[in-house]
Structure 1
Amino acid sequence: MGVGIRAAGEDDRERVVRLLDEAFQDDPVSGWVFPEREYRRTTHHRLMAAFTDIVLAEGRIDVTEDGTACALWLSMAGADGGAADGGGADGGGADGADDAVLLRESVDPANARVEEIARLMAESHPADRAHEYLWMIGVAPSRQGEGLGSALVRHVLDRCDREGLPAYLEASSERSTKLYERLGFTFADHTLDIPDGPRMWPMWREPVTGRGRP
């Protein structure tokens, strides 16, 4: 049986924030942004709320029907003159520096790492071609390993294949790169090495022609 997937709306905001907060509490990047565990437990949700609000306004959030997994996508315009449906911009846009400052001020004003991670991701983001950007994908800890994340990603990759759009993401762990490789993503030409922190793996996927999914 397939996984039921729908587009999230404003009524789903708190559910999505809670889900992302739970899913990323032990993520290496979240641990670097909020190194003190107790502070992370009480503050991390603000960053997830900021991300959720940006994507609700400028992109698309897909959720499973049972609310146990979600994926945040943005449609990124390219310097080639192309544009993915919907427009929108994350820290990878031309205003990335200003966005990074605003993000820190809204999430945790004294925490320079909130701004720094936004700047690093903006600098790493490809800007030459229009593409779909998988900003985040979160699965409830009790449901991980059941294929929900793969189903959410394939849901958009099917459309990318039909429309001839590439896709991009930054994997936050070496383990997760294996999942994305199975979905057709390959490593970009560089890693994103966070100063005194973890490594991220930018990955790119060209559209697959002649079939609905990889």
Structure 2
Amino acid sequence: MAEISVARARTVLARSFFDDPLMVWFFPDPDVRPHACAAMFGLFAEHYLADGRVDVATRSEPVGVAMWRWPGPDAAPPDGPEELPSIGGLMTGFMGAARAREVGVAMASLDALRPPEPYAYLHLLAVDPDACRQGLGGELLDRGLAAARDAGLVACLDTMNPANVPFYEAHGMSVRHEVQLAPDGPTSWAMATG
């Protein structure tokens, strides 16, 4: 399996998610958004590269990444002192405390829509915009779906981008729930296999 650095992963993710409805809702200022996304995705990349399943698509350099949370002890945050920055701390810094709380409550509502444990959760799938339309996203998704199937797990995800729904459906996933995250927030599609 190809490797990717945290710096490259956060850059691919930030570039890929720039126009994503969730990121636009989180960070409406387009000048701030790529940097805020990179900071947030960098924390996710650190976690998944240490304790998750990460699939990488490479051309001359890594251009795509899929980050999965698998059941087991690594799925839960470690006990012990918090390392900084935290996702909550970054969100508060970028949005302010009241807006970060509102966003946090909306995002927490998605947990109840997932299938019963254990499952494989696709947290992030991204292909750099300069490498799109080459089948890389499908290749990354299929690798993770095959691994979940081999492990006897349902695979699930949440997408807030309506353009992604047909893509995931073409790979055997179906919409289980559709919810509006907040009155001013995007719609979320909870999808799963099986």
TM-score for both structures, normalised by structure 2: 0.82
Structure 2 counterpart SS, 1:174: coil
State whether structure 2 residue 64 is matched by structure 1 residue 69. Answer: yes
**Identity percentage of aligned residues:** 27
1:116 shift after superposition? 4.1
**Deviating runs (4+, > 3 A) in structure 1?**
112-119
Distance 1:45 1:110, change over 3 A: closer
Stretches of structure 1 lacking an aligned partner (at least 5 in a row): 1-5, 77-82, 207-214
CA contact (8 A) 2:107 2:181 kept: no
The secondary structure found in structure 1 opposite 2:32 is helix
> Aligned residue for 2:157?
169
Q: What's the offset of the Cα at 1:58?
A: 2.8
Q: Which residue number corresponds to residue 211 of structure 1?
A: none
- The one-letter code matched in structure 1 to 2:185 is G
Q: Which residue of 1 aligns with 2:50?
A: 57
**Structure 1 residue 164 displacement after superposition:** 1.5
**Structure 1 residue 115, shift from structure 2 partner:** 4.9
Q: 1:8·1:60 contact (CA, 8 Å) conserved in 2?
A: no
Give the TM-score of the pair, scaled to structure 1.
0.75
Is 1:123 the counterpart of 2:99? The answer is no
Query: Secondary structure at 1:169's aligned position in 2?
Result: strand
Structure 2 residue 33 is matched with structure 1 residue 45: no
Q: How does 1:64-103 map to 2 (within 5 A)?
A: 64-66=57-59, 67-76=62-71, 83=72, 87-89=74-76, 102-103=86-87
SS of match in other structure, 2:185 = coil
AA aligned opposite 1:75: W
| CA displacement 1:76-99 (0-9 Å, x = unmatched) | 3xxxxxx5xx64147xxxx9xx9x
Pick aligned residue for 1:17 from 10, 14, 18: 10
Aligned residues: 183
For structure 2, the residue ranges without an aligned partner over 5 or more in a row are: none
Task: Tell me which amino acid in the other structure corresponds to 2:54.
Answer: I
Question: 1:124·1:192 contact (CA, 8 Å) conserved in 2?
Answer: no
Return the offset for 1:43. Answer: 2.6
Shift of the alpha carbon at 1:7? 5.1
